[in-house]
């Protein structure tokens, strides 16, 4: 069974890639994800200069199977891009550089570096829910999104992917991102949440708020993918709570043509990837489909 697909012109042997935030900062981290069998690598969100994250605790495993994190976009700055791209190219695996910034100029600066070094695409993080001045604070305003995407797309030759988060104006935001030149959308990022310890009577994360990921957000992500695919039929990378082939299949029939896995890669990552791919093949065969393209967005049609 053929699981080949493509996103922004990048051919993928199957739809599974990692979500931004899973990858570390070194060549070894790229190699680890390559060995899991992912079809493409997505970097951590990279800012122009070194950015210190929040103090621990920054990650909490929740009783409902989800995870709450407030890393704070910690990263070593744009100089690391060359090492990560070089390692991915060594293994002939496409690499998408996730970038963040506090203003248009910062997005442009990192995007230009990724473009010049030879990344395959850029994913604009317009949706981080827990770092003040970044992410969702920019990405919840359609006009801001239009400006950032437009200005960034104007200085690079590689495709721009806009990663959007949950907001009351998500349809408008998606439309503006596409209008400004985004070739695809990643839907969705983690969702702003809080966890309070009933014994200490205080929030557990030092940042108080974090991004909720994992199974609890999956139905929300599917809903957003469905609505935006129905409205615009764009190329979509589905992201949010994928743990098995059923979750993956649901996102594909809602409109996603590629998928990102984050939280599920923390435990038994190799088995997770293999089981999802095996399940997707058997599912397509069961329905009599020949490839992924036949089923993308079929629930919307």
Binding residues for FMN: 20, 44-45, 125, 163, 188, 214, 240-241, 262-263
The 8-class DSSP code of residue 114 comes to: H
> Do the Cβ atoms of 124 and 173 come closer than 8 Å?
no
CA–CA distances in Å: residue 22 to residues 1, 2, 71, 170, 184: 28, 27, 11, 25, 21
CA–CA distances in Å: residue 66 to residues 62, 69, 215, 240: 5, 10, 6, 11
Tokens encoding 93 = 């695996």
Q: What is the residue whose two structure tokens read 């990279």?
A: 46
Sign of the four-CA dihedral 23, 27, 30, 36: negative
Contacts 24+ apart (CB under 8 A), 275-278: 275/244, 275/245, 276/16, 276/242, 276/244, 276/245, 276/248, 277/3, 277/14, 277/16, 277/37, 277/245, 278/245
Binding-site residues for substrate sit at 44, 69-73, 125, 189-190
Binding-site residues sit at 20, 44-45, 69-73, 125, 163, 188-190, 214, 240-241, 262-263
Of 211, 218, 213, residue with least CA distance to 256: 218
Residue among 128, 225, 239, 259 flagged as catalytic? 128
Our CA angle for 83, 235, 92, nearest 5°, is: 30
Active site residue 239: no
Which residues are known catalytic residues?
Answer: 128
């Amino acid at each position: 069974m053929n699981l080949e697909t493509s996103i922004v012109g990048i051919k993928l042997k199957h739809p599974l890639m990692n979500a931004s935030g899973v990858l570390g900062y070194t060549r070894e981290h790229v190699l680890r994800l390559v060995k899991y069998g992912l079809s493409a690598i997505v970097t951590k969100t990279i800012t122009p200069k070194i950015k210190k994250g929040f103090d621990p605790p920054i990650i909490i495993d929740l009783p409902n199977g989800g995870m709450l994190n407030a890393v704070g976009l910690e990263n070593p700055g744009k100089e690391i891009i060359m090492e990560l791209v070089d390692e991915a190219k060594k293994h002939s695996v496409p690499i998408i550089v996730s970038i963040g910034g506090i203003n248009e100029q910062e997005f442009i600066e990192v995007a230009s570096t990724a473009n010049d070094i030879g990344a395959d695409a850029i994913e604009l993080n317009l949706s981080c829910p827990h770092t003040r001045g970044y992410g969702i604070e920019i990405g919840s305003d359609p006009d801001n999104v239009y400006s950032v995407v437009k200005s960034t797309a104007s200085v690079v030759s590689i495709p721009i992917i806009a990663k959007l988060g949950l907001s009351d104006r998500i349809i408008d935001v998606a439309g503006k991102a596409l209008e400004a030149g985004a070739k695809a959308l990643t839907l969705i990022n983690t969702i702003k949440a809080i966890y309070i310890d009933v014994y200490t009577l205080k929030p557990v994360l030092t940042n108080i708020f974090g991004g909720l990921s994992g199974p609890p957000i999956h139905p929300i992500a599917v809903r957003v993918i469905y609505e935006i695919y129905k409205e615009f039929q764009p190329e979509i990378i589905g992201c949010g709570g994928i743990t098995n082939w059923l979750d993956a299949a649901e996102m594909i029939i809602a409109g996603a043509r590629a998928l990102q896995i984050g939280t599920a890669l923390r435990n038994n990552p190799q088995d997770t990837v293999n089981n999802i791919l095996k399940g997707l093949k058997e599912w397509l065969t069961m329905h009599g489909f020949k490839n992924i393209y036949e089923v993308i967005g079929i629930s919307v049609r």
